[in-house]
Amino acid sequence: MAKVAFLGLGVMGYPMAGHLAAAGHEVTVYNRTAAKAEAWAKEHTGTAAATPREAAAGAEFVMACVGNDDDLRSVCLGDTGAFGGMGAGAIFVDHTTVSAKVTRELNTAAADLGLSFVDAPISGGQAGAENGVLSVMCGGDQAAYDKAEPIIEAYARICRRIGESGAGQMTKMCNQIAIAGLVQGLSEALHFADKAGLDGRAVVEVISQGAAGSWQMANRHETMLDDHFEHGFAVDWMRKDLGICLDAAEETGASLPVTALVDQFYKEVQKLGGGRWDTSSLFKRLKAFE
């Protein structure tokens, strides 16, 4: 078993850190709101630390799942940052969805200190984190990945290294691009069924067994029809991710017309007051504009 630090105890990080403790690892946690870290320590076998640096002291692996590029920089760098507490040879594993640019920046900073950095964004939502069945897509040095993979397995259904530093984040962008199009397509299908006077549930029962079937259709169509949009991954976060996608598309020369359009649809959802609704709320947008 390993000595592990976990930084960031949101809806994803809290259960992920719990899986590490349940697997027998020695876990120290840090959260910006200290009360949540203390609550986690009481619930699980582990310790709460006051700063990322204190949490990372002596850890073989430091996991992070925070909000955005700036949040990640703040837990890594500076006087209270985790890098300052990590010993030579320790491995930082970042589960945050951030830009490949900040990933490569921090990978270089880590290497200068004799540390390793693995970008390892996740997919599977709150339920995936709670059930320990996340998809983890990784970038970074092969040797560092090989050491980190057995630790990540505590909360992963699948974990794969895609390439060098930044490859994990670019793969997560592929994931978000695919989801955006799928949710919009499902929303339009349910909207069309309603306008045509069809029973949406009956329609999905049939079409989900054919080429139209998807995870989104299987897991979200009923709650969409019930006007229930409280499934964890918020529109505000999706817009952050799609912004990263579109910025990366500019850099790589990729064409993402559907992604750009759906991003604007999510902007309209925000204007409806739905920034904290989950991503399936694209259906609610269509109903709002009837």
Tell me: the pLDDT tens digits for 11-33? 999 999 999 999 999 999 999 99
Question: Which residue ranges of the chain lie beneath pLDDT 70?
Answer: 232
pLDDT at residue number 45? 87
Which residues lie closer than 8 Å to 128 by C-beta, 6 or more apart?
Answer: 122, 134, 135, 157
Tokens of 160: 């794969």
Q: Supply the pLDDT for residue 69.
A: 97
Predicted confidence at residue 289, as pLDDT, reads 78
The answer to whether 253 and 220 are in contact (CB under 8 A) is no
At residue 85, the pLDDT reads 98
For 40, the 3-state DSSP assignment is: helix
Residues 6+ apart with CB under 8 A from 255: 249
The torsion angle over the Cα atoms of residues 103, 106, 107 and 108, rounded to 10 degrees, is 130
Q: What is the pLDDT of residue 189?
A: 98
Residue 114 falls in which region: left (phi positive, over 0), alpha (psi -120 to 50) or beta: left
> Taking a C-beta distance cutoff of 8 angstroms, is the pair 137, 175 a contact?
yes
* pLDDT of 233: 86
**Residue 188: predicted pLDDT:** 98
The two structure tokens encoding residue 133:
């069945």
Question: In the chain, which residue ranges form alpha helices assigned H by DSSP?
Answer: 13-22, 34-43, 52-56, 69-76, 100-112, 125-131, 142-152, 167-195, 200-207, 215-225, 235-252, 257-271, 282-288
**Closest to 10 in 3D by CA, of 82, 95, 136:** 95
Of 271, 190, 263, 277, the residue nearest 230 (C-alpha): 277
- What span, in angstroms and rounded, lies between the C-alpha atoms of 156 and 202? 33
> Which pLDDT value is given to residue 231?
80
User: Alpha-carbon distance 91 to 118, whole Å?
Assistant: 7
pLDDT of residue 34: 97
Using only the alpha carbons of the chain, give its radius of gyration.
20
Residues taking part in catalysis: 172
What does each C-alpha distance from 137 to 110, 173, 232, 268, 282 come to in angstroms?
20, 11, 20, 30, 26
pLDDT in tens, 171-196: 999 999 999 999 999 999 999 999 99
